Amino acid sequence: MKLINNLIIQIIPFLPKFFVKIVASPYIAGITDNEMLDNVKKLNAQGFKVAIDILGEHVQTESEAKEITDRYVSIYDEISKRELSANISMKLTHIGQDLGYDVVKKNLYDLVRAAKKNNNFLRLDMENVPYTSETIQLYKDMFLEYQKIGIVIQAYLHRSLSDIKDLSSESFNVRICKGIYVEDPKLVLNDYQEIRDNYIRLVKEAIKKGSYVGIATHDEYLIDTLCLWLKKNDIAKNKFEFQVLHGVPIRKKLKKLMDDGNTVRVYLPYGDNWYDYSVRRLKENPKMAGYIIKNLFSSILRLR
């Protein structure tokens, strides 16, 4: 199966866009803001909370960065207007991080002000290593303005345990994920089980220091291991939540988590950049190719 998955990943970039859209559609929440907001409402009705992300990164001009910033600001207003259970999770390179610290800080401040106005939460996604330290500094700068703001820490980086120890407190909100970027091998853990072990270590360290933790993973080993630890240590359910990517088929596990009283938040990507995102996700996670095979056969049956 692994061989088949890798073969599919090699040919995906050469397939027609309409074909990729069919098989990638479960992972994308639409193109327009209204399509996305309708999907948020549906997920809320199923008991899920949501983190919204406009697909895209590394804008080239200040006008593009401002346009994305304004779009996020309007989404905050729509979340309030429609009484949705959702917040925003965004990449700093999408609002101008490559264009200079002053540019991204100004746009980020506008987003923080919109979050504060709507009494909502803002998450700063973590990108690759060249941006890590600056992202943490921007988080610290914005935290002085508004405390309902969080960050992401990646378990495959050697530095992450030190970052968790430095940042953790009762007012710290962190999403912990494994990490997906290709980095200098000297900066990352390369063994799969070592990354898992470090992931567990980071979650425990943050929770022990009173932080709120978004346990962001589809790895059922990590979910099960951490569920046992959380239960054994009588960790209050308002100190953590589980987070999953929209469309990844582990619905039985998610239902079990919610039946046990846990909060589950769906990371909801959407927007015009769905194609690049879909291809990238497939390359980063070969197991998704297996899911695509199932979707492909289902699509063929629907078209017959």
Of the candidates 175, 196, 265, 281, the residue annotated as catalytic is: 175
What CA–CA distance (Å, rounded) separates 223 from 6?
26
Of the candidates 53, 123, 125, 281, the residue annotated as catalytic is: 125
Concerning whether 175 is annotated as a catalytic residue, the answer is: yes
What CA–CA distance (Å, rounded) separates 256 from 268?
21
- Residues listed for the chain: 304
Only one residue has tokens 């239960």, namely: 231
Amino acid at 56: G
Only one residue has tokens 């207003």, namely: 77
What CA–CA distance (Å, rounded) separates 118 from 136?
24
Concerning whether 302 is annotated as a catalytic residue, the answer is: no
Terminal-residue alpha carbon distance, the chain? 26
Contact of 124 with 150, CB cutoff 8 Å: yes
204: its two tokens: 């425990």
Instruction: Write the CA distances from 84 to 52, 53, 81, integer angstroms.
Output: 11, 15, 8
β-bridge mates for residue 53, sequence order: 269
Output the DSSP codes for 78-96.
Answer: HHHHHT--EEEEE-GGGGT
Query: In angstroms, how far apart are the furthest CA atoms of the chain?
Result: 58
Catalytically active residues are 125, 175
